Amino acid sequence: MNKKRDIELTAARRRNDYRLILDIVSPGSRVLDLGCGAGQLLTLLEADKNIVGYGVELDGDKIIECVESGLSVFQGDLDEGLRDFDDGSFDYVILNQTLPVTHKPPYVVDEMLRVGKRGIISFANFAYWRIRWRLLTGGRMPVGESIPYEWYDTPNIHHLTIQDFFLFCRRFRVTILDRHYFSALEGGHVKHSQRLPNWFAAYGMFVITRGD
Amino acid sequence: MTVIKSNHENHAADDSVGVVETRQVELFTADDPLHLECGTEFAPVTLAYETYGTLSEARDNAILICHALSGDAHAAGVHSPEDPKPGWWDRMIGPGKAFDTEKYFVICSNVLGGCKGSTGPSTNSPRMDKPHALGFPMVTIHDMVVAQKRLVEHLGIDRLLSVTGGSMGGMQALDWTVSFPDSVVSAIPIATTYRLSAQGIAFNEVGRQAIFADPHWNNGDYYGAEPPDVGLALARMIGHITYLSDKSMHEKFGRDLRYRDKYAYDFQQEFQVESYLHYQGEKFIKRFDANTYLYLTKAMDYFDLVDGYHSLTESLKRATAKFLMIAFTSDWLFPAAQNKQIANALRTNGSDVTYVEIRSDYGHDAFLLEFEELTKLISAFLGFLYEEKAVQ
C-alpha cells in the first residue's frame, strides 16, 4: 500500500474533529463531505464505518489525491450549491472547517440540509478567549492554531463565533441536535458540554437538521 | 477526434512502446455470426488490433482503449523505426505514462465498421466478392462493443481492469459497463455523452450530406473509382470546427491572413483558419473512407443509453464498475454538463464514481491534447486499482 498515505492517515486519526465525526456517523451511512480536501476523513469513515462516501472538492490537485485513495469525488464549487444532488439523498452531509470559506453560508447550509438528513458542521470559534486576548493585547488580526492565516492571505471570508452560529441557526431555522467542543485540532480536551463555550471552546462541532 | 499530428518526440525514447504492428483476427464466422442490434446476423467479422505491454499471469491487468470517430487500432508506438508518426494516443500509452505498459496490458482495436483493418463498408464481402459499400449493415456502438468483447475473450481475458476512451470511444466505454458489467473492473469515459444532443446529430448530418452531395460518392459504390474526396474533406472540415473552441480558434488563427498581407477581395483561401481547415480535410481523405464516416456518425447518433429504460439512473443500475468521468470546460460538442449527468446518475445509484472537469481552452479536442492533466488523474485512478489488486 501507499506508505505516504498510511502515515497521513495515522496522523489524521489524532485529529479531534475526525474522531468526533467517526463517533457521530453510524455504520453503513451515505455520507457527503463538502470541501473534502485530500479525502482523509472519507478514507477513515470508509475504513472504520463502512460508509458509502462522496466528496465535493474544487481543487484539482486535492482531487487527484482523493482519486489516488480510491475515493469518489465530484469537482465542484460549494457556492454554486448542490443542485445535482437529490433531496435527502445522504444520511450525513459534512462541512468540516469549511464554513468560513464559503461565500454564501446560509445558502450552503440550506443546501446541506436539503441533501442530507443531518448536517455536521465544525468551525473555529473566533471568540475563543485566546483569540480575544490576542486581539485585545496585540491589536492585530489573530493568527494562531485555529486560525493560521494572515488577514491578507486567508481563504476564510466569513469568520464566526459559536454565539454567531447559535443566532444563525435561530434566524435560518436550523435545529441543533448535538454539540461538541474542543480546544485544539489535535490534543487538548474534547467536551460534550462546556460552560460558556463562546469563551472557552476553540472549536465547535454541531449536528444539525432542518427546523420546523 | 483528430489524430495528434506527427510530433517531435523521439520514438526511441524510453517512454515509447517502440515498434508495434497491427494484427487482425477473424472473430465471427458464418457458423457463428455477430447478432447486430438492427436484427441482422453478420459474418465474417475481422477486427484489427494492437497490444502493448504484457498480460499478467492472472490475466488481470488488461486495459481496453476505445478510439473516437477517426481513430484506429494504432494508439501507441510506431510501425517502423523510420515511421515519423506515432499512434494517436502515444502520449498516454507507454512505459511510465498514464497507461503504463510496465504495469498494464493495453489493447486497442479498430471498431466494427471502421476502415483501418476491421470489417467495414470498404472491406470485401465474400459473397459479392467486392466491397460491402452500402450493403454493409447499420452497426451501433453496442455492436462494436460486442465485437470487442469477443476480441478480449480471444486474447484470454475475462475481466478488463479498465475500459476507456474519449468521445465515441467514451460511448463504447459506457456501453461496456452496462452490457458486460462482470467484465470490467473500472471505466474512464472521457469527453463523452450517454446520447448525442440534437446539436451533435445536426453536425453529423451536415457531414453526411456533404458526402452524399459529392457526385463521386455514387450511392456508396465508389471503390475502384474516384472516391468522394471533396465531400469527405468537407465533412471533416465541419467536424473540425466542432472539435475546437471559439477561444482556441481565436488564439490559433485570429483573423490572420496567409500568403497575403492585405485583402485581395476574391474567393481564394486567405484567412489562416481557412487554410487550416482545408489542410485538415486534405489530410483526412488520404487515410479515411467516406462510407465508414457515414456509418460511424450514424452509430453515434443512434447511441442512447436511456433507450429501453425509464431514466439514465435506471439504465446505469446495470453498471458495477468503478468510474472516473472526465470532461473539459470548453467542450461544446460533448459538454461537461452531459458528462456530469452520467456521474450524477451513477452517484444516485450509489456507484463508485469520480467526476472531474479539466479547465481547458481546446474544446472537444482537449481529450487528445490535455495529456498532462489526464495523466495525473488516470495514473492515480489506475494506481489505486493496481495496488488494490496486489493486496487481494
Is-catalytic flag, B122? no
Size of interface A-B (CB pairs under 8 A): 54
Alpha-carbon distance A174 to nearest alpha carbon in chain B (angstroms): 26
DSSP state for residue B392 in the 8-state scheme = -
Contact A113/B at CB under 8 A? no
Amino acid letter, B147: A
Task: Find residue B389's DSSP bridge partners.
Answer: none
Distance CA A138, CA B327 (A): 49
B-chain residues near A72 (CB < 8 A): 347, 352-354
Distance CA A143, CA A134 (A): 8
Question: Is B340 in contact with A84 (Cβ distance < 8 A)?
Answer: yes
Is this complex's ipTM strictly greater than 0.90?
Answer: yes
Alpha-carbon distance A53 to nearest alpha carbon in chain B (angstroms): 9
Give chain A's domains with CATH numbers: 3-210 (3.40.50.150)
Nearest chain A residue to B377, by CA: A64
Mind spelling out the 3-state secondary structure of chain A? CCHHHHHHHHHHCCEHHHHHHHHHCCCCCEEEEECCCCCHHHHHHHHHHCCEEEEEECCHHHHHHHHHCCCCEEECCHHHCCCCCCCCCEEEEEEECCHHHCCCHHHHHHHHHHHEEEEEEEEECCCCHHHHHHHHHHCCCCCCCCCCCCHHHCCCCCCCCHHHHHHHHHHCCEEEEEEEEECCCECCCEECCCCCHHHHCCEEEEEEEECC
Distance CA A182, CA A16 (A): 7
Is-catalytic flag, B364? yes
Nearest Cβ partner for A67 among B348, B377, B388: B377
SS3 (DSSP) at B99: strand
Which region holds residue B379: left if phi is over 0, alpha if psi is between -120 and 50, else beta?
alpha
C-alpha triplet B86, B251, B231: angle, nearest 5°: 60
Q: Which residues of chain A have pLDDT under 50?
A: none
Contact A74/B at CB under 8 A? yes
Nearest Cβ partner for A68 among B340, B358, B384: B384
Q: Which residue has the cell 481546446?
A: B362
DSSP string, B34-84: EE-TTS-EE--EEEEEEEES---TTS--EEEEE--TT--S--SSBSSTT--
Is-catalytic flag, B331? yes
Choose the catalytic residue: B109, B118, B167, B245.
B167
**Cβ(B364)–Cβ(B333) under 8 Å?**
yes
Contacts of B310 (CB under 8 A, 6+ apart): none
Kindly give the residue spans of alpha helices, DSSP state H, lying in chain B: 141-154, 168-179, 198-212, 229-243, 246-252, 272-285, 290-302, 312-316, 336-348, 366-369, 371-391
Question: Is A67 in contact with B324 (Cβ distance < 8 A)?
Answer: yes
Question: Is B355 in contact with A73 (Cβ distance < 8 A)?
Answer: yes
Q: Show which residues on chain B lie within 8 Å of chain A, measured between beta carbons.
A: 322, 324, 340, 343-344, 347-348, 350, 352-359, 373, 376-377, 380-381, 383-385, 387-388, 391
Contact A67/B at CB under 8 A? yes
B-chain residues near A75 (CB < 8 A): 355-357
Contact A71/B at CB under 8 A? yes
Give chain B's domains with CATH numbers: 23-197+307-391 (3.40.50.1820)
The reported pLDDT for the residue numbered A93 is 98
Nine-digit cell string for B358: 479539466
Question: Is A54 in contact with B347 (Cβ distance < 8 A)?
Answer: yes
The reported pLDDT for the residue numbered B5 is 41
SS3 (DSSP) at B257: strand
Q: Which residues of chain B have pLDDT under 50?
A: 1-11
Question: Is A72 in contact with B350 (Cβ distance < 8 A)?
Answer: no
Angle between helices B229-243 and B272-285 (to 10 degrees): 120
B-chain residues near A60 (CB < 8 A): 356, 358-359, 373
Task: Find residue B350's DSSP bridge partners.
Answer: none
pLDDT in tens, B251-274: 999 999 988 888 989 888 889 999
A-chain residues near B186 (CB < 8 A): none
The reported pLDDT for the residue numbered B11 is 47
Distance CA B128, CA B134 (A): 12
Alpha-carbon distance A52 to nearest alpha carbon in chain B (angstroms): 7
Nearest chain B residue to A85, by CA: B344
